[in-house]
Amino acid sequence: MSQLPDNNNWFTEVHTADGSAFSFKLTEKGKLHEEQTPFQKIEIYDTETFGKLMVIDGYVMLTTRDNFLYHEMMSHPALFTHPNPERVLIIGGGDCGTLREVLRHPGVKLAQQVDIDEGVTRASEKYFPELCESNDDSRAELHFVDGLKWVQEAAPGSYDLIIVDSTDPVGPAEGLFSEPFFRDCHNCLAENGMVVQQSESPLYHLPLIKDMYTAMGSAGFVGMQTLPFPQPVYPSGWWSCTMAFKDTALKNVDSKDIASREFREQDSENRPFETLYYTTAIHRGTLDTPPFMKKVLAGLK
Ligand code: SAM
């Protein structure tokens, strides 16, 4: 295709700052749902080759076809790195896909999902029911409040892992990339706690990742490690999440290799559930930071 498709049978997200765009051919049904909530505009489309598509404020959130890449990488690497993750907090994640992956881990005793917008979960229940299949698990709790407020008010030491599955750092999610938020996360994590956050495109948004390292470091985290993974429908087709560690004992060791050293490789290998993308070898491979990223992030761990 040499021209940007512009008729009504296509949904196009234009990545203005990066001079690129991604388009989906829609079925005859086209738009299935549109809703302006108090927080954002939610739209659902029916595409020809990617299944259902969720869009928030004009930005692609997920599709039926490729969301497994994101949801598996947001959850399994961190859950196979913390020594014993029992209490997990998901900030955002209203489509419930990350929650489903977290609950595949039998050792998890509590998984709280805190999304600001109930509309996202209700739309997901209707259009992405497969992502919501664990919502009735007795270990799952769904709360609909601002994640910033939730971590401000959470009791110190109450979580082992915080997964920040947020929208881009504009609108309600802006504060979720800031030092005060990471400070609150640090406070409500137990001593060996971890945070993992979606950290945008390694190709397009490296300055944002660099700022995240600085904010996380100022908040007391160490050993920041960005894990790139493919995500065809997001800007540049390549996305990432960034893990960081609270354990103060780790401050005295070489913080560059914490994510690698703490990886419970054998438990990953023996995982009692199926995955579609995540494997032990892929996890190990993503711990090797590409040189172009290392150059920018060096010295910030
Ligand atoms: N995979 C997606 C991405 O990287 O673009 C994220 C999907 S998930 C649907 C993002 C969720 O973050 C949305 O449901 C949105 O409501 C939620 N969110 C944004 N700001 C929030 C906040 N301050 N507190 C809690 N949830 C928030």
Q: How many domains does the chain have?
A: 2
**Cα–ligand 1 centroid distance for 291 (angstroms):** 30
| Residue tagged 């229940």 (tokens) | 125
Q: 199: domain CATH number?
A: 3.40.50.150
Query: Ligand 1: residues within 6 Å at CB?
Result: 61-62, 70, 91-95, 114-117, 120, 146-148, 165-167, 172-173, 176, 198
What integer is the mean pLDDT of 109-134?
98
In sequence order, the β-bridge partners of residue 99 are: none
Contacts (Cβ under 8 Å, ≥6 apart) of 1: 23
Whole-model pTM: value is 0.96
The answer to whether residues 109 and 201 belong to one domain is yes
Model pLDDT, residue 257: 86
Which one of 41, 167, 170 would you pick to mutate in the ligand 1 pocket, going by the greatest count of ligand atoms within 8 A of its CB? Answer: 167
281 class by beta-carbon count within 10 Å (0-12 exposed, 13-18 middle, 19+ buried): exposed
Amino acid occupying residue 50: F
Question: Quick one: tokens of 234?
Answer: 């997001």
**Cα–ligand 1 centroid distance for 22 (angstroms):** 21
121: part of which helix (H) or strand (E)?
helix 118-127
Model pLDDT, residue 190: 96
Q: Which of 46, 165, 168, 247 is catalytic?
A: 165
The answer to whether residues 37 and 112 belong to one domain is no
The answer to whether residues 162 and 228 belong to one domain is yes
Which residue minimizes the CA distance to atom 8 of ligand 1?
A: 93
Which domain covers residue 48, as residue numbers? 2-63
pLDDT digits (tens, 9 = 90+) for 184-229: 999 999 999 999 999 999 999 999 999 999 999 999 999 999 999 9
The answer to whether residues 110 and 212 belong to one domain is yes
The chain-wide mean pLDDT, for the chain, equals 94
pLDDT digits (tens, 9 = 90+) for 225-283: 999 999 999 999 999 999 999 976 666 666 668 999 999 999 999 999 999 999 999 99
Contacts (Cβ under 8 Å, ≥6 apart) of 282: none
Known catalytic membership, residue 184: no
- 3-state helix/strand/coil string of 183-196: HHHHHHEEEEEEEE
Q: 42: domain CATH number?
A: 2.30.140.10
User: How far lies 28's CA from each of 8, 45, 46, 142, in Å?
Assistant: 10, 10, 8, 34
The answer to whether residues 238 and 189 belong to one domain is yes
Reported as half-sphere exposure (CB side, CA atoms, 13 A), residue 2 has a value of 0
The answer to whether residues 29 and 107 belong to one domain is no
Q: Is the pLDDT of residue 1 over 80?
A: no
The answer to whether residues 26 and 79 belong to one domain is no
Which residue minimizes the CA distance to atom 14 of ligand 1?
A: 94
The answer to whether residues 59 and 76 belong to one domain is no
Model pLDDT, residue 299: 77
Select from 19, 35, 63 the last residue of a domain: 63
Q: Which atom of ligand 1 is nearest to the CA of 93?
A: 8
The answer to whether residues 126 and 144 belong to one domain is yes
Select from 26, 46, 63 the last residue of a domain: 63
Q: Which atom of ligand 1 is nearest to the CA of 176?
A: 23
283 class by beta-carbon count within 10 Å (0-12 exposed, 13-18 middle, 19+ buried): buried
